[in-house]
Amino acid sequence: MRRLRIDDSRSILTRLPIAVSYKKIPVQKPGPDEVLINVKYSGVCHTDLHAMMGDWPIPTKMPLVGGHEGAGVVVAKGELVTDLELGDKAGIKWLNGSCLACSFCMQADEPLCPKALLSGYTVDGTFQQYAVAKAAHVARIPAECDLAAVAPVLCAGITVYKGLKESGARPGQHVAIVGAGGGLGSMAIQYARAMGLHAVAIDGGAEKGESCAALGAAAYVDYTTSVGDDFVRDVRKAAAPDGLGPHAVLLLAVAEKPFHQATQYVRSRGAVVCIGLPAGAHLSAPVFDTVVRMLTIKGSYVGNRQDTQEALDFFRRGLVKVPFKTAGLSELQDVYQLMREGKIVGRYVVDTSK
């Protein structure tokens, strides 16, 4: 069996200052409330690169197996697990486990649990052939779903779907999606459309405009050609028919500037939902406008178990498709390198058997 460990050994062979190492490690045994999943495919998320690079204020486990979009098959389970059978398709997501007893868990806000276990961050993740997770939190993947194609839904899909729910936008209303041409954005456009919302895609360049239109965006605003006051006016106008602005804004961008612009064009009574995590960024908004236009500014972070099943069901019904390329798990370092250089269109999914 081949397994991958991410450690902090320096390599002169790669341009990234930190390299992954690829090696055999023992298979973990599932605890009484856990399942062991034979991971077939795992999506590669920007968070995995941040985890390896130590970019975030919370330390990771060391040594660490990264990965949190793992799709596979249940091959062993603890004695308390009664609602998953061996052979069932299942997914390991960012939230690997939580206490299920705190006030957040009791209200289905388990991502906020102080004892949350995070796949590929505080516990070993899915860049390996066999990974364990708490049975309560494992995604139930419908039998008819392709495991490679569904993998990116387990983080990217759940995250944007939850953000759209959190925005409060209702069918027939407009949602601006900032960073619509990226991996999260392309899924957000499709979820928005499937939920009966009109997506106003915002990104840079004509090529991204074409891909957004092909995915079903109602309008596209190119920030490279529409700047300053024009940009605000164009976004508002794109949220037809009254030109008063989108009912909600989903901020998926990895730059700080869009986070400051959103309150200028969101519709009065509208919501600005932050999802992207530009490093070290801060958010600012004029207090006067926020008050007299009754704006809501909020964050949205992954999703709970119910959000997970809903996001998967949109995929099962063919309403959301994720453009992806596959690579061998042994090629993960190359995938990270492409990610670092911003050269990935869509998403990479690694095949753990290669």
Site size toward Zn ion (CB under 5 A) is 8
Q: Which is nearer to Zn ion, 108 or 227 (CB)?
A: 108
Q: Which is nearer to Zn ion, 155 or 238 (CB)?
A: 155
Q: How far is the CB of 229 from Zn ion (least distance, A)?
A: 35
Q: Which of 102, 149, 297, 327 binds Zn ion (CB under 5 A)?
A: 102
Q: Which span sits near Zn ion by CB under 5 A: 57-65, 130-138, 150-158, 164-172?
A: 150-158
Does position 105 interact with Zn ion (CB under 5 A)? The reply is yes
Q: Which span sits near Zn ion by CB under 5 A: 99-107, 138-146, 223-231, 275-283?
A: 99-107
Q: Which is nearer to Zn ion, 107 or 224 (CB)?
A: 107
Q: Which span sits near Zn ion by CB under 5 A: 101-109, 179-187, 282-290, 308-316?
A: 101-109
Q: Which of 36, 40, 47, 67 binds Zn ion (CB under 5 A)?
A: 47
Site for Zn ion in 237-256 (CB under 5 A): none
Site for Zn ion in 265-284 (CB under 5 A): none
Does position 113 interact with Zn ion (CB under 5 A)? The reply is yes
Q: Which is nearer to Zn ion, 270 or 303 (CB)?
A: 303
Does position 45 interact with Zn ion (CB under 5 A)? The reply is yes
Q: Which is nearer to Zn ion, 35 or 49 (CB)?
A: 49
Q: How far is the CB of 47 from Zn ion (least distance, A)?
A: 4
Using CA atoms, how far residue 155 sits from 188, 214, 291, in Å, is 12, 23, 34
Q: How far is the CB of 116 from Zn ion (least distance, A)?
A: 7
What is the pattern of x (binds Zn ion, CB under 5 A) and - over residues 69-98?
-----------------------------x
Q: How far is the CB of 115 from Zn ion (least distance, A)?
A: 6
Does position 99 interact with Zn ion (CB under 5 A)? The reply is yes
HEC-encoded secondary structure of the chain: CCEEEECCCCCCCCCCCCCEEEECCCCCCCCCCEEEEEEEEEECCHHHHHHHHCCCCCCCCCCECCCCCEEEEEEEECCCCCCCCCCCEEEECCEEECCCCCHHHHCCCHHHCCCCEEECCCECCCCECEEEEEHHHCEECCCCCCHHHHHHHHCHHHHHHHHHHHHCCCCCCEEEEECCCCHHHHHHHHHHHHCCCEEEEEECCHHHHHHHHHHCCCEEEECCCCCHHHHHHHHHHHCCCCCCCCCEEEECCCCCHHHHHHHHHCCCCCEEEECCCCCCCCCCCCHHHHHHCCCEEEECCCCCHHHHHHHHHHHHCCCCCCCEEEEEHHHHHHHHHHHHCCCCCCEEEEECCC
Applying CB under 5 A, which residues contact Zn ion?
Answer: 45, 47, 98-99, 102, 105, 113, 155
